């Protein structure tokens, strides 16, 4: 069973992604911020990490750098609802930082599953 870690500061989004991915047969863990995610990642291996880009504590961008350094095999999907810059630009930055793919919030469940499937 493929293992997926989801990081987002919005509990509703965490809950949703968990529901969607678990019902699709993935093993899912969640983290509410970057620091929590790093702690989990030190002890566990994941096939895919889905991370929000803009979060309190450790930013999504920092997490991407961490993953690239400590778990280079892990595939990364960046998600973002945008911010002061356009959502595209955040996601563009995420891509250049090392994310394998990005997804603009809000998205359809099917879109998400499609992306994950492609990466595995």
The residue ranges that bind other proteins (CB under 8 A) are: 10, 12-13, 15-17, 19-20, 23, 54, 80-87, 104-110, 112
Q: How far is the CB of 72 from other proteins (least distance, A)?
A: 28
Neighbours of 6 (CB within 10 A): 25
Pick between residue 82 and residue 98 the one whose CB is nearest to other proteins.
82
- Minimum distance of other proteins from residue 95's CB (angstroms): 16
Q: Side by side, which strands form the sheet with 48-52?
A: 27-31, 3-7, 48-52, 75-80, 101-104
Looking at the Cβ atoms of 16 and 71, the one nearer to other proteins is: 16
Between helices 60-70 and 34-43, what is the axis angle to 10°? 20
- Burial code of 67-92, b = ≥16 C-beta within 10 A, e = fewer? beeebeebbbbbbbeeeeeebeebbe
Minimum distance from residue 20 beta carbon to other proteins (Å): 6
Residue 58 CB, nearest approach to other proteins (Å): 18
Separation between Cα atoms, residue 24 and residue 10, nearest integer Å? 21
Closer residue to other proteins, CB minimum distance, 64 or 91: 91
Nearer to other proteins (CB atom), residue 81 or residue 98? 81
């Amino acid at each position: 069973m493929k293992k997926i870690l989801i990081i987002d500061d919005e509990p509703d989004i965490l809950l949703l992604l968990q529901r969607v991915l678990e019902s699709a047969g993935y093993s899912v863990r969640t983290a509410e911020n970057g620091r929590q995610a790093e702690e989990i990642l030190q002890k566990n291996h994941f096939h895919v990490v889905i991370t929000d880009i803009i979060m309190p504590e450790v930013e999504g961008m920092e997490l991407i750098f961490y993953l690239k350094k400590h778990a280079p095999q892990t595939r990364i999907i960046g998600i973002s609802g945008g911010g002061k810059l356009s959502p595209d630009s955040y996601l563009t930055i995420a891509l250049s930082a090392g994310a394998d793919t990005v997804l603009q919030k809000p998205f359809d469940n099917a879109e998400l599953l499609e992306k994950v499937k492609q990466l595995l």
